[in-house]
Structure 1
């Protein structure tokens, strides 16, 4: 990356910034890492693929529920201390997944992973917003979203091949990353933090409500794609775990490659216009992935959704983290909570629909970005009327 491109993402001098971006990949990696190997997990734990697929929901529901309050609690306890404790707990949760003797124990360990990760991602977003000059915030959050996309890409690339040997090996990689971040923690604040409890009332604002709505709808569609694309790859095209993993990696690779451009466009266009463009791309990608008659078109649709989701992550983080100064981590965690509530509900809604009606059920995921476009139009129109 060039000197000019990185200048806007640089935090203030004396800051250890690289762990902020490296940490961005843990949440997306852990959330979908089981998806490419649900059949192998089911076989290894004497269960069924349908039950093993619930590992996505059992991770995301506690992840989302705890994030309703995790940012506010971390502002009270101290960001740096909270970050290190949660990273150590995440390593323990990975070990529990590896050692799980039954599917019940495995799902409980996945829930523990979700709880521990709820105290990392929103703190990283809040720290980046504090440490990076506002003129380059879009590019910095774009880089962070790119690392999240890298996590999404690494997940199938590690889980797919690991499943061909032993699915338990897939948990070593995120555990190692968490250990590195615990030993070399990022700088979490720009200076002394305000004393006293962070204000909860500061979270009651329209910008944050918009971010929560967009976040929910984005992941309702995106996680639906990650699950249904794997199912379609096996059902319609007969792909094995290696091929499924490589296909699913198109989501994260495309998002990673597009992240620098998306961050610059956010700085240039603003969050609402960027949100409209990304939701249009999301709807198009979902339809191509659902209805395309070849593996190539399925992969193209997955890649388009990966770009759109990376752009929407950047947009949502920018809206949420700048919606209040008094409780920035609380705002980031609340928007992320809605993101993962959407992700947790996705398999419960889309998998039965896909099972019942096939491609039409997959294509129905495009309803989510259409609803997001309606939400963006309603907020803009309301603001226009009030500004007159």
Structure 2
């Protein structure tokens, strides 16, 4: 495109304003998606009472949302690469807003669960494309700060959900926790429509047919994995043992389909790139560890330390608050010192926090839990900014949607795995402790975070090894041009 000298200053000013509008819409998109997850949990008891349903039945209000995100997030990332990220993100925000209204007007539980699945689809679009659009609109030297801002907004949404949801339920009933996101969604839609850059026309080599077969196989496989990890509340039974081989078969079938597809959903050579492979593996391990704080923390605080439900919620909010405060500074550290170096440093900080939780004596009380949690969460905020920045910076423009989708997928798989596997570790260690409920909970926490420490050390080893691989010449150009 031709640029005329007299228009240079005006164009630069318009670009700065446009970037601010874009970041505002993308940040609020991330907040909405995370708020949609956390605000529903606090409403489960009210939903059980309103619909005369069991806890297992209303739990699907949360599971349906998580399943939709997990199974579709890679596909929507590729759809954005193929058909335009701006167009798809606007559709995703509109879909999320409409589904929020449907949730708030649900006449029965089945309607609510179905609407939550649709809402999860909108959230998947927002989560996958927000990260991709950062790489498209923000200068490379500021990418870390922008991604840190998105992480901050996501953490604020997570922290805000329980307290906002409780206040809304107390004042207006359960429908308010869904209806409150409707005006916010309309605001985000307006900001995105005004601020998002126009979709760039794709070249003929990029805009190929959408891989419907691969998408269906991957969605079914991921859905089966999510069910295998969630059914049974952490206790593996016959259904889980049947579903896991089905997952393995689905992975093999997906690899076979992708190797033969003319326009595959995931190009297998992408996953062979050391930095992307390392980023996905460490993201899943770290998410597994962070889910441990949400699964184990409430049991230890209530049974091990004897805190009331209100105090448990207050203590648990320390983690998201630290993430919110650390997100933007973490992004600036990444911009200044480099993504790969900061990723390894962040994992070292996380390992310190996990180790402290695994050896913290019960008599230290709340301080013995909160201080290591602050260390762990601060390390997590730095890792998220570093890992996402490193992976997204190396992604080619036409692949940013799919790479962002893969990153979010690895995180969601880690959250699901952590909820099941780490919950099982806690239950096993607590049951093995033949003592009071308090000492059993403390023993379970120590054992679980000992396992978490090992997982973080594994992630640090993978990240450090990828730094060595990155110093070697990688024939990226060859694989980058072909086939897309």
TM-score, scaled relative to structure 2: 0.69
Question: 1:73: how far off?
Answer: 0.2
> What's the counterpart of residue 448 of structure 2?
362
Contact 1:56/1:344 (CA < 8 Å) preserved in 2? no
Q: Which moved more, 1:130-139 or 1:172-181?
A: 172-181
Distance (Å, rounded) in 2 between the aligned partners of 1:95 and 1:191: 29
Cα contact 2:140–2:393 (8 A) shared by 1: no
Of the structure 1 ranges 105-114 and 310-319, higher mean CA displacement relative to structure 2 is found in: 105-114
Does the CA contact (< 8 Å) of 1:156 and 1:248 recur in 2? no
Question: 1:185 — aligned with what?
Answer: 192
Paired with 1:287 and 1:272, the residues of 2 have a C-alpha distance of: 23
CA contact (8 A) 2:84 2:200 kept: no
3-state DSSP of counterpart to 1:192: coil
Equivalent in the alignment of 2:348: 280
- What is the number of residues matched between the two proteins? 378
Deviations 1:156-202 (A, max 9, x none): 22134445554443323333322211122163337734334458547
Q: CA deviation at 1:11?
A: 9.4
> Which residue in 2 is equivalent to 1:228?
296
| Contact 2:29–2:93, Cα closer than 8 Å, also in 1 | no
C-alpha change, 1:157 and 1:192, in structure 2 (3 Å) is same
SS in 1 for 2:192: coil
Check 1:269–1:195 CA distance in 2 against 1; reply closer, same or farther (3 A cut): same
Quote the offset at 1:339 in angstroms: 0.9
- 1:239 and 1:348, CA in 2 relative to 1: closer, same or farther beyond 3 A? same
What's the CA shift string for 1:87-109, capped at 9, x where partnerless? Answer: 12212333444455666655444
3-state SS of 2:180 partner: helix
Where do 1:139-178 residues align within 5 Å?
Answer: 139-162=145-168, 164=170, 166-178=173-185
**Are the structure 2 counterparts of residues 292 and 183 from structure 1 closer, same or farther at C-alpha, using a change threshold of 3 Å?**
farther
Corresponding position of 1:270: 338
Shift of 1:64: 2.1
Change (3 A) 1:147 1:217: same
Q: Which has the higher contact order (CA 8 A, sep 6+)?
A: 1
User: Secondary structure of 2:15's match?
Assistant: coil
Tell me the equivalent position of 1:300. Answer: 371
Instruction: Find runs of 4+ consecutive structure 1 residues off by over 6 angstroms.
Output: none
Structure 1 pair 281–318 and aligned structure 2 pair: CA distance change class (3 A): same
Q: For 2:89, what is the secondary structure of its paired residue?
A: helix
Distance 1:50 1:287, change over 3 A: farther
Q: Deviations over 1:117-149 (max 9, x none)?
A: 111122111211111111121112112211122
Higher mean C-alpha displacement, 97-106 vs 323-332: 97-106
Question: Aligned equivalents of 2:14 and 2:300: distance in 1?
Answer: 43
Equivalent residues of 1:62, 1:111 under 8 A apart: yes
> Once the 2 structures are TM-superposed, how far is the Cα of residue 224 of structure 1 from its aligned partner?
2.6
Unaligned runs of 5+ in 2: 1-12, 208-262, 430-443, 475-484
SS at match of 1:80: helix
Distance 1:287 1:43 in 2: 41
CA spacing shift, 1:322–1:12, aligned 2, 3 Å: same
Q: Is the Cα–Cα contact under 8 Å of residues 275 and 466 in structure 2 kept in the other structure? A: no
1:41/1:299 CA distance change after superposition, 3 Å: farther
Q: Is the 8 A contact 1:57 1:343 kept in 2?
A: no
RMSD: 3.1
Gaps of 5+ in 1: 1-9
- Deviation, 1:36, is 4.5
Distance in 2 (CA, whole Å) between partners of 1:368 and 1:41 is 36
TM superposition score normalised by structure 1: 0.84
What does residue 4 of structure 1 align with? Answer: none
Distance 1:46 1:373, change over 3 A: farther
Q: Provide, for residues 280-305 of structure 1, a one-character-per-residue CA deviation record: whole Å limited to 9, x for no partner.
A: 22233345556463223333344333
Rg bigger for which structure?
2
> Helix, strand or coil: the match of 1:69?
helix
